[in-house]
Amino acid sequence: MYERPSGSIFPFVYAVKPDNKRAPRPGIQRDPGALLPLAWILGDEGYRLDYAWLNYPEHPYRLEPPTIAEHADLDYSRVGPGDYFLQPTRTPLDDELERARKYVPRGGTTLELRIMKFWTQFFEFCGRGSVCLTPDVQRGLLPGFEAYRNMGFRLNKNSDVIQIASGRPHLAGSVAFFIRTEAMWKGGPGLFSAWGMDADATYTWAWILYDRMRHLTQRRGLYMVALERPADARFRGDYAAIANDWKAEIVLEHDFVDEL
């Protein structure tokens, strides 16, 4: 169990795909339904919710991504040791290369660059259509799931895994990830993040962590679960109910040392 520092939670939120006709505005964040149960988990540990960043590209939007020198600065000087960035959306490490229909747009900010650098130790490739784990992380795959080191996902209807390194997956459904670290860089803040490969999977996974797998959220490391929806899944307006309908099985446990 964590010994609670007197820390704060700072949501780091991605935005929906930009509409070139409209400038950025506060109400266009991705995955707000997943943000709530994740914040409640840390709130129950005694952390307090502080202000959020909307990691959104500058307007007018560019056709090509900005160079490093052109990234916009976000002042995060008040965030330090004992605090957490709270991220409910997949980091788009390779979305701009993959250009899948449902990609996550980068914000082009200096804070995003620093967080993305932390994520690259876990993923050789991470886009909406495919994910490849780094060799170090692959060693944490549980027996029988070694081929999940390289995954391809359905891009319409749902985000089910349709391809793994050895062919077709032996489990139905998608995957989701959870990570907790107390420091992403030396002397810096921690990260508390959970996400699936589409909005439905992300919402569901956050509620499962809050409702059924709270023990996992108290561990340091990167974890992946096989996430299976029931064949007759039907959303009836009750977010908490989906946590009882879906199955989640841990298939990857990767421990690492925090950059304290």
40-58 per-position pLDDT tens digit: 999 999 999 998 888 887 7
Distance CA(157)–CA(171), nearest Å, equals 18
Q: pLDDT category, 62, cuts 50, 70, 90?
A: low
What is the side-by-side order of every strand in the sheet holding 161-164?
123-126, 130-133, 150-153, 161-164
With a cut of 70, say whether residue 5 has pLDDT above it: no
Ranges of each domain in the chain: 8-254
pLDDT value of position 2: 43
113-126 per-position pLDDT tens digit: 999 999 999 999 99
213-253 per-position pLDDT tens digit: 999 999 999 999 999 988 776 777 777 777 788 899 999 99
8-state DSSP, 23: -
Q: By C-alpha distance, which of 51, 65, 75, 134 is closest to 104?
A: 65
pLDDT value of position 28: 81
75-108 per-position pLDDT tens digit: 888 899 999 999 999 999 998 888 777 788 888 8
What is the pLDDT averaged over residues 125-129? 95
Contact 246, 204 (CB under 8 A): yes
| 3-state SS class at 81 | coil
Per the model's pLDDT, the better-predicted residue between 106 and 69 turns out to be 106
